Amino acid sequence: MGMDGILALAGANLVSPIILSFLLGLVAALVRSDLSFPEAVAKGLSLYLLFAIGFKGGAGVAAHGVDALLVAALFAGVILSILLPFIAFAMLRFLTRVPVIDAAAVAGHYGSISIVTFVAASSLLAGRGIPAESYMIAVAAAMEAPAILSALWLAARRGGTAERVGAELWREILINGSIILLLGAFAIGWFTGEAGLAEIRSFIVDPFKGVLCLFLLDMGLVAGRGLRSSRGVLSLGAVIFGIVMPLVGATLSLAAGLALGLSFGGVVLLMVLGASASYIAVPAAMRVALPEANPALSLTLALGVTFPFNLTLGIPLYLLLAGAVTGN
């Protein structure tokens, strides 16, 4: 598929209600409308999405079984999560003049993952009838935390002053709410299987895409407000980083996915995980452990640049790339 194909696919992706809802939020925030979601509603939507995506993943594993690949995929995810921050750090130091401590914090975000980007990609795959390994959601959970380790190591090593990371912080990171909810729902879905899914299908399957629209509308609002209030935070180099880094992450993940022998859909999802940047778990950990790092920089990059890029152009691109390589 040539450039035409890419554009056609990106175009098709762009006219989905999901993407347009995000753009609506972005535009509303940029024109300074007072449209806003209460914090509790946003959290409620995200609890729903985490529960639903975890449960469906687990039910999928119950239906299709699990093989040795699961362990290998988890392992690959962890390695990617540990490795990507080093690349991100080097790239940032090359492209921008941000201090070591900020570069380390940003790097941590890019090693970790954005679950809503993963959800949007799953949705696109499902819409096109492309199957993927159900346990990829567990891989997503496994990739949330390891990147933090690398970020802290980079900060400490390279002159930053990372707070002594006690057992307490590790506990917080490893069992943070979103990991527990994802993995817990995954376990419940796996355990109760098809029967469990049938019981709650009309809650977690049928309305899922609609809820995702509302959540992305909110994400658009938050991203837009972030962009507006941090004018000046982003240099050109940083913006370039925010677009090139996901491509690098996706490419490395493509290689890993092929090496593992994941399905076409699985490879795409791993690419999306590699390409996306955390906006929930890592920011909180960084505030605790690297309080001197500027949170506006990481969040604006992750939510204002990389997230929209992945959502609109990135995902279709990864789909095409994976398709070209695997012959799908």
Partner 1 sequence: MKMHEAKRVEIIIEAVMEGRLTNALNEAGVTGYTILPVSGGSGRSGQWSREGQVGRAGGMVAVICLIHPDRLDALLESAFAVVERHIGVVSVSDTYVLRAERF
Residues that bind partner 1 (CB under 8 A): 34, 36-39, 41-43, 46, 163, 218, 221-222, 225, 229-230, 279-281, 283-284, 286-288, 291-292, 294-296, 299
**Cα–Cα distance between 16 and 322 in angstroms, integer?**
21
Q: Which is nearer to a copy of itself, 175 or 244 (CB)?
A: 175
Of 189, 173, 144, nearest in space to 51 by CA: 189
Q: Which does 96 bind (CB under 5 to 8 A by kind): a copy of itself, Na ion, partner 1, none?
A: none
- Encode burial over 308-324: b for 16+ CB neighbours within 10 A, e otherwise: bbbbbbbbbbbbbbbbe
Of 327, 314, 321, nearest in space to 114 by CA: 314
# residues contacting a copy of itself (CB under 8 A):
56
Q: Which does 287 bind (CB under 5 to 8 A by kind): a copy of itself, partner 1, Na ion, none?
A: partner 1
Q: Which does 115 bind (CB under 5 to 8 A by kind): Na ion, a copy of itself, partner 1, none?
A: none
Q: At what angle do helices 100-111 and 236-260 cross, to 10 degrees?
A: 40
Q: In this chain, which stretch among 39-47, 72-80, 155-163, 242-250 interacts with a copy of itself, using CB under 8 A?
A: 39-47
Q: How far is the CB of 111 from partner 1 (least distance, A)?
A: 17
# residues contacting Na ion (CB under 5 A):
1
Told to check if 137 binds a copy of itself by CB under 8 A, we report no
Instruction: Write out the residues near Na ion by the rule CB under 5 A.
Output: 249
Instruction: Write out the residues near a copy of itself by the rule CB under 8 A.
Output: 15-17, 20-21, 24, 27-28, 31-41, 43-44, 47-48, 51, 55, 127, 171-172, 175-178, 180-181, 184-185, 187-189, 191-192, 196, 199-200, 202-204, 206-211, 213-214, 217
